[in-house]
């Protein structure tokens, strides 16, 4: 699928209703590895790309951090605030991005294309929570996505990444398979990459009718 087709698919699925990948609770892996993501520090500035309508953002704000999400679907972006009982301030940033914000600016979500985000719009960030965002990006855009994320991170920034791993020849993404080897080939020059956890994705394997499928949690730390 092309980049524009993937973006349209996401928007169509949100318009049609709550997509099957949305979860109605805070991600348990984020809760488990929050100290790795934040370095055990409070008041971190955290980026959540392709965030959907995730409850993770408000949870991170409640833990004392400031959070910026980016989401292509306007409905999903605004839903983050309505789910939390918040009435966001809405600002048109440019023709590609609309900003929603609340909690005295500690919770912000840009509705628009992640590939249109730049360091003059937001950042720099202490860390990134990548909940299968890299696996949702078209392979043709991976290098650009990696460059953008890197440009938004502080020199000693950290990335906690959730991704699926399977035999890509068995199905077309998204989600695309993101193996440790692929991460090293795309991010290895800039980051140390550690796999914190790898677990059989039993339900997803059945849904996608794959011979095998795992989800992996990777932790990326700057080599600088």
Q: For position 24, what pLDDT does the model report?
A: 85
Distances in Å between the Cα of 20 and the Cα atoms of 37, 88, 106, 164, 214 are 26, 26, 28, 15, 18
Sorted by where each begins, the domain ranges of the chain are 3-158
7 has pLDDT over 80: no
140/92 Cα distance (integer angstroms): 28
Mean pLDDT of the chain: 93
* Predicted local confidence at residue 195, as pLDDT: 97
Q: What is the pLDDT of residue 13?
A: 60
pLDDT over 90 (residue 11) = no
Query: Is residue 20 scored above 80 in pLDDT?
Result: no
The arithmetic mean of pLDDT across residues 189-196, rounded, is 97
Sort 34 into a burial class: Cβ within 10 Å, 0-12 / 13-18 / 19+. middle
Reported confidence tier of residue 224, pLDDT bands at 50, 70, 90: confident
Query: Where residue 54 falls among pLDDT bands split at 50, 70, 90?
Result: very high
Q: Tell whether domain 3-158 is in CATH 3.40.50.150.
A: yes
pLDDT score, position 23: 76
Distance CA 173, CA 8 (A): 14
Q: pLDDT class for 79, splitting at 50, 70, 90? A: very high
Mean pLDDT of 123-139: 96
Cβ(98)–Cβ(90) below 8 Å: yes
Residue 60: pLDDT band with limits 50, 70, 90: very high
Average pLDDT over residues 72-84: 94
Report yes or no: 110 and 68 within 8 Å, Cβ to Cβ.
yes
Find the helix or strand (DSSP H, E) in which 77 lies.
helix 74-83
pLDDT of 18 above 90: no
Neighbour count for residue 207 (Cβ, 10 Å): 12
């Amino acid at each position: 699928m092309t980049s524009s087709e993937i973006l349209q698919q996401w928007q169509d699925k949100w318009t049609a209703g709550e997509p099957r990948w949305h979860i109605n609770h805070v991600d348990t892996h984020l809760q488990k590895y929050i100290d790795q993501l934040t370095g055990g520090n409070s008041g971190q500035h955290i980026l959540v790309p392709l965030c959907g309508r995730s409850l993770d953002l408000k949870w991170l704000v409640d833990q004392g951090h400031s959070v910026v999400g980016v989401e292509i679907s306007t409905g999903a972006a605004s839903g983050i605030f309505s789910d939390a009982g918040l009435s966001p301030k809405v600002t048109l940033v440019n023709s590609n991005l609309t900003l929603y914000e609340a909690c005295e600016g500690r919770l912000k979500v840009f509705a628009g294309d992640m590939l249109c985000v730049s360091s003059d719009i937001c950042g720099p960030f202490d860390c990134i929570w990548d909940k299968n965002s890299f696996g949702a990006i078209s392979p043709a855009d991976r290098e650009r996505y990696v460059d953008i994320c890197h440009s938004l991170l502080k020199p000693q920034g950290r990335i906690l990444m959730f991704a699926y791993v399977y035999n890509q020849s068995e199905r077309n993404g998204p989600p695309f398979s993101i193996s440790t080897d692929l991460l090293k080939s795309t991010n290895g020059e800039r980051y140390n990459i550690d796999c914190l956890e790898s677990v059989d994705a039993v339900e997803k394997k059945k849904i996608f009718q794959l011979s095998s499928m795992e989800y992996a949690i990777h932790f990326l730390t700057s080599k600088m």
